[in-house]
Amino acid sequence: MELYNTTVTEFIMLGFTTDPVKQRVLFVVFLLVYTLTMAGNFTLIVLICNDPRLHTPMYFFIGNLSFLDLGLSSVYTPEILITCVSEDKSISFGGCVAQFFFSAALDYTECYLLAAMAYDRYVAISKPLLYSQAMPLKLCVFFVAASYLGGFINSVIITKDTFSLHFCSDNVIDDFFCDIPPLVKLACGKKDSYQAVLFFLLLSNVIAPIVFILASYLFIIATILRMRSTQGRLKAFSTCSSHLTSVTLYYGSILYIYARPRSSYSLDRDKIVSTFYTVVFPMLNPVIYSLRNKDVKEALNKLFK
């Protein structure tokens, strides 16, 4: 029991590098990414709220996705910026718990929301004439509320179990935020029950939504193949391309971090991948959902005029 540090009051964040010059460069890069993320997602939310043409189930989900991305980026990036410019790399135990909880809650919520968006795309393609009736506002609100509820409940579970672990004398986190792999690396006497909780959460928050999304797209593909018009097929596929791109990038990086054998973990390599889904992905979402979207472009032109 002497090996266990039960009086941990803070953690030390190593971040990406200890080189002062590289830290300043990274500060500028992350500040630019954060600015673009906030501007892009906030603009998309304003467009969806203000333009009546965007008052559809699809844009309702996209607006909520942008809101989640604003939250995710704000959970991670400010701490990264502080780590880059401050000589004090510490984060309090309570601050680490709060960051861990909100990051897990928003990540899990986004997993469920992306699954709900897959169902929305299935309904839009399989029942285009009955789309509004099949996806009423009440059902959309239910999907979003259920996503948040599931995300925050699961976050309570993983946060409680993670910070119930005994941490060794080393309190240095080799990462830029409080995450499962670096925290588990600091823990002593890891319990089998904790690994069971991790497996359950991976299954319920990542694998289950992925299976649901894949099933939705199998039905979507079957519907598209039954279409006689080539133009109709291309139009139907284009309505799903943005969501499919978003799902591939988001779940691909999460599975790489959390679904690999522990023996293959490399914190240096994982830092780069985790940066993508925590910092870069929230910046890319507004681009993914607006770059080829005629309605969003027209709404943006109207807003500027």
Q: What is the pLDDT of residue 1?
A: 34
SS3 (DSSP) at 16: coil
- Convert the pLDDT of each residue in 153-203 to its tens digit: 999 999 998 888 887 767 888 778 888 878 888 877 666 777 788 888 888
- In this predicted model, what pLDDT tens digit does every residue of 83-108 receive, in sequence order? 888 777 788 888 889 999 999 999 99
- Residue 109, pLDDT > 90, answer yes
The matching CATH number, chosen from 1.20.1070.10, 1.10.287.1400, 1.10.3720.10, 3.30.200.20, for 10-304 is: 1.20.1070.10
pTM: 0.88
Render pLDDT for 236-266 as a digit per residue (tens, 0 to 9). 777 788 888 888 888 888 887 776 665 555 6
